[in-house]
Amino acid sequence: MSEPTLPAAKSAGRMNDAMLSSLRPPTLRWYLLAFFLGAVVAWGLYAFGYMVSTDMSCTGLDRPVMWGIFIVNFVFWIGLSHSGTMVSAILRLSRANWRRPILRAAEAMTVFTVTVGALFPLIHLGRNWVFFYLIPYPNQRGLWPNFRSALLWDATAIFTYVIGSSLFLYLGMLPDLAVARDRSAGWRRTLYGALAMGWRGTAREWLIFHKASTLMAALIIPVAVSVHSIVAWDFAVTVVPGWHSTIFPPYFVIGAILSGVAAVITLMVIIRKAFHLEEYLTPLHFDNMGKLLLVIALLWSYAYFVEVQTTWYAHEPIEWEVFSFMAGKYTPALLLMLVGNSLLPLTALCFRRIRRSVGAMLAISLLVNVAMFIERYLIIVPSLSHKNMPFVWGTYFPSWVELSVTAGAFAGFALMYTLFAKCFPMVALTDVRELEARKVLVPFARAELPSIAGKEAGDD
């Protein structure tokens, strides 16, 4: 690649400064943002508390639509969590060097979105206070949860993913924490010192670190694929018309990656602006992420087409009823979904100028995620509204409680991310500098000699 993936060579100290800029003491604006997000989270918690202390009649749920926007949120957030694995693990394994400055943002997003997503199955329970019945723990009655239930598979897969992605994030951050430790004082030094686990940067440590990162990257991909397949099975293994479909697992995985990649682009724009990282997150990165998004949007369009065309061709009465009801009642939402997930990315992202325009990429990536939220809504709600018995067809609209909890979830994610950015290195510092070490010419007396650090296989 002719275009440099790094800014012009700088001293190590200046690079560290720039990339650790997020760790500087918080400004007033940061406090205002954190306070605002905290207030929205508090409101969401109040709404949830209200639901728990009264009863579930404050939701919009009824018979037959017994799952609503809580489950939409669940699928949406778990979908977003595929960003870290996709962007980080796959690009790490394929040794795409441009990935380096965005690694951390993507990996951290995975951890926080999967945390938010995992809360929703607990939030939506009718009796949240006995949620531990779902956990396989030894008890005096010898009762185990039902492993035939897709919800148990869910719990297992998500728990594995939470642990796996947290380890993935932490492992990648280890050398950066050591840098932060060496540059800080006071309580921060103690904190980073403990977290860096005595990292010294010896050759042996680096060797082990590289092996471990590659191994983790390879292991986290099947976990991510299985997580969203299992989320899809929540629907696919039922007998509900519109849900019972074999295309669901791959279709959900593709949808998850689509929303994940789009969310990484959104966060890249925000982080670039907030921490003045224009030198590190260049149009090249947006160009490459745009190409990735284009490919995934193509895959998504294909999967959606297959899903609809088999239903249309078979024309099974009740399945077709669900589709026509959805297309009739939710026409604007359906159109927005098709534009946001398919038509717009497929046309706009073909143009290099659009892929390289930060503003356009922000707009497209936001629209993709709005469309993905709608997509989940249109899968879950219309299918339940028109099930097999026409006498109990119904409708659903989320209530203030459900919308407040949803707003609280978005704010909660943003708050966790904001706090994380202030406490931990937001750019994968050592990853970026590793690349620099390979490329740079080392000044040697009056001559400049190429660095002895070898080229990684696959480097250009």
Cα dihedral 267, 272, 278, 283 in deg (nearest 10): 20
Please identify which residue in 130, 203, 445, 452 interacts with another protein, judged by CB under 8 A. Answer: 130
The verdict on 152 binding another protein (CB under 8 A) reads: yes
Q: What are phi and psi of 46, to 5 degrees?
A: -60, -45
Minimum CB distance to another protein smaller for 67 or for 417? 67
The verdict on 314 binding another protein (CB under 8 A) reads: no
The verdict on 391 binding another protein (CB under 8 A) reads: yes
The verdict on 202 binding another protein (CB under 8 A) reads: no
The verdict on 47 binding another protein (CB under 8 A) reads: no
Minimum CB distance to another protein smaller for 3 or for 55? 55
* Length, in residues, of the chain: 460
Given the rule CB under 8 A, which of 49-57, 213-221, 297-305, 436-444 is the region that contacts another protein?
Answer: 49-57
Number of residues that bind another protein (CB under 8 A): 40
Closest contact distance (angstroms) between CB of 316 and another protein is: 10
* Contact string 82-121 vs another protein (x = CB under 8 A): ---------------------------------------x
Minimum CB distance to another protein smaller for 126 or for 332? 126
Closest contact distance (angstroms) between CB of 118 and another protein is: 15
Closest contact distance (angstroms) between CB of 158 and another protein is: 13
Q: What are phi and psi of 447, to 5 degrees?
A: -95, 165
Distance CA 183, CA 192 (A): 10
Given the rule CB under 8 A, which of 14-22, 238-246, 344-352, 366-374 is the region that contacts another protein?
Answer: 238-246
Q: Count other C-beta atoms under 10 Å from residue 310's C-beta.
A: 14
Closest contact distance (angstroms) between CB of 404 and another protein is: 18
Please identify which residue in 55, 142, 203, 458 interacts with another protein, judged by CB under 8 A. Answer: 55
Residues 68 and 381 sit within 8 Å (Cβ to Cβ): yes
Is-cis flag, bond preceding 138, omega within 30?
Answer: no
Query: Is 457 exposed, middle or buried, given 0-12, 13-18 or 19+ CB atoms closer than 10 A?
Result: exposed
Distance of CA 18 to the CA centre of its chain: 26
Using CA atoms, how far residue 190 sits from 3, 114, 181, 184, 196, in Å, is 40, 29, 8, 9, 10
Residues pairing with 442 in the sheet? 449
The verdict on 240 binding another protein (CB under 8 A) reads: yes
Closest contact distance (angstroms) between CB of 280 and another protein is: 45
The verdict on 400 binding another protein (CB under 8 A) reads: no
- Tokens matching residue 103: 């690694």
- Tokens matching residue 353: 């100028």
Distance CA 93, CA 89 (A): 6
The verdict on 138 binding another protein (CB under 8 A) reads: no
Please identify which residue in 178, 277, 384, 405 interacts with another protein, judged by CB under 8 A. Answer: 384
Residues 9 and 440 sit within 8 Å (Cβ to Cβ): yes
Please identify which residue in 45, 62, 306, 366 interacts with another protein, judged by CB under 8 A. Answer: 62
Cα–Cα nearest to 241, from 389, 134, 115: 389
User: Which residues contact another protein by CB under 8 A?
Assistant: 54-57, 59, 61-64, 66-67, 121, 124-127, 130-131, 133-134, 143, 145-146, 148-152, 155, 237-240, 384, 387-389, 391-392, 394
